[in-house]
Amino acid sequence: MDSLLPLGLFIFCLVVIELIFSGIKNLRSGGSKSVQARLQALQKDRPEHIDIHILRDRRLSPSGWLHAILSILPGMKNIDRLLQQANVGMALSTFLLLMAGSAACGYLLPAAALKRPELGPVFALLFLTIPFLYVLQKKNERIKKFADQLPDALELIGRTMRAGHAFSGGMKMVAEEFDDPIGSEFARTLSEINFGVGVADALKAMAKRVGSDDLSYFVIAVIIQRETGGNLAEIVEAIAFIIRERIKLMGKVRVLAAEGKVSAIVLCALPFLIALFGFSTNPKLFNVLTEDPAGRIMSYTALGLMAFGILVIRKMIKIRV
């Protein structure tokens, strides 16, 4: 275990150096940001507070060699898509360094505070998941807010089209009248269309960025209507009605499943709370589980079984509508 301490210190120092260089780079790019803000202010037909970019491949790291390495690693694209959906404004390389720094801090904490370096891997694993859980929570909050805004936005598009405006005019109304996230996402999609990106490609890119199932249904309906024809205003209003009713049904299901969720939380937290209480009252009680090889195997097996049980309970109480 002691041989891993230098590795943890190295990762922690690497993260600190990377964050310092990122901060210096952001300070140096202040002039270019001000120029970009002034150029956006000249575009009278778009909100000034929205960052507009043309559709392009997202870079996984500011460094070219690191971007090339991350591009060929499996699973990196999915993590980067999660960062886009959470809208945390962080590159994938910075997020990975943050996770590595959290794991290093978790590994060093038991040796420094508890004088138990053998618990380093367990704390490192726990701390490793903290940035990921934070990003996942931000993504869920953003998708929920987007889903709450979507029915009103689609109804506005439908009314705008019934008044004689084009589909792009309805998207412009949504971009001007709604706050983030739906206002900024529609404005970005509209700007991509104005810059020459195809309507279908721009809508698909928005659905991929947001990660909302309801938005995907709307995008698919618009793409099919553009290929086959039909009354798009009626289609959009019908989708808005279905989404609104689905949100109401989800609220009823959430209320009915609240008791099961509370029971699941108690069952999942109870073993850890009992272990924490026992360790605080009698630390020697767990020596056999941390020092003896068979005890370590039993501890890791129990943690794995508890993680599997938590996943099963989560599947049971998560009802999709």
Could you give the C-alpha distances from 128 to 2, 103, 105, in angstroms and in order?
A: 20, 5, 9
Note the pLDDT of residue 150. Answer: 92
**3-state helix, strand and coil shares in percent for the chain, rounded to the nearest 5:** 80, 0, 20
Note the pLDDT of residue 186. Answer: 92
CATH topology of domain 142-244: Receptor-associated Protein (1.20.81)
Q: Half-sphere exposure of 307 toward its Cβ, with a 13 Å CA cutoff?
A: 8
Note the pLDDT of residue 273. Answer: 86
CA-based torsion, 34, 35, 40, 44: positive or negative: positive
The string of pLDDT tens digits covering residues 62-82 is: 777 777 787 787 888 888 888
82, 142 Cβ separation under 8 angstroms: no
**Phi-psi category of 46—alpha, beta or left, where left has phi over 0 and alpha has psi -120 to 50?**
beta
Burial of 317 (0-12, 13-18, 19+ CB in 10 A): middle
Domain ranges of the chain: 2-141, 142-244, 258-317
167, 196 Cβ separation under 8 angstroms: no
Comparing CA positions, the residue from 39, 60, 61, 63 lying closest to residue 51 is: 39
Burial of 188 (0-12, 13-18, 19+ CB in 10 A): buried
Looking at beta carbons, which pairs linking 90-97 to residues 24 or more positions away fall under 8 Å?
Answer: 91/59, 91/60, 91/61, 91/62, 92/60, 92/61, 93/60, 93/61, 93/62, 93/63, 93/66, 93/67, 94/18, 94/19, 94/22, 94/61, 95/131, 95/135, 96/70, 97/14, 97/15, 97/18, 97/19
- pLDDT tens across the length of the chain (321 residues): 455 555 556 666 665 666 666 656 555 554 455 555 555 555 544 444 444 444 456 677 777 777 778 778 788 888 888 888 888 878 888 888 888 888 888 888 877 776 777 777 888 888 888 888 999 999 989 988 998 899 999 999 999 999 888 888 889 999 999 988 899 899 989 988 888 888 888 999 898 888 888 899 899 999 998 888 788 889 999 999 999 998 888 888 888 878 778 887 888 888 888 888 877 787 777 777 777 788 888 888 888 888 888 888 778 777 766
186, 174 Cβ separation under 8 angstroms: yes
Could you give the C-alpha distances from 11 to 5, 133, 156, in angstroms and in order?
A: 10, 21, 51
Note the pLDDT of residue 50. Answer: 47
Note the pLDDT of residue 241. Answer: 92
Could you give the C-alpha distances from 250 to 59, 200, 320, 321, in angstroms and in order?
A: 37, 29, 8, 6
Judge if pTM exceeds 0.75. no
Burial of 157 (0-12, 13-18, 19+ CB in 10 A): buried
Residue whose tokens read 């990377």: 18
145, 211 Cβ separation under 8 angstroms: no
Note the pLDDT of residue 19. Answer: 60
**Residue 270: what residue type?**
L
CA-CA distance, 51 to 182, in Å (whole number)? 13
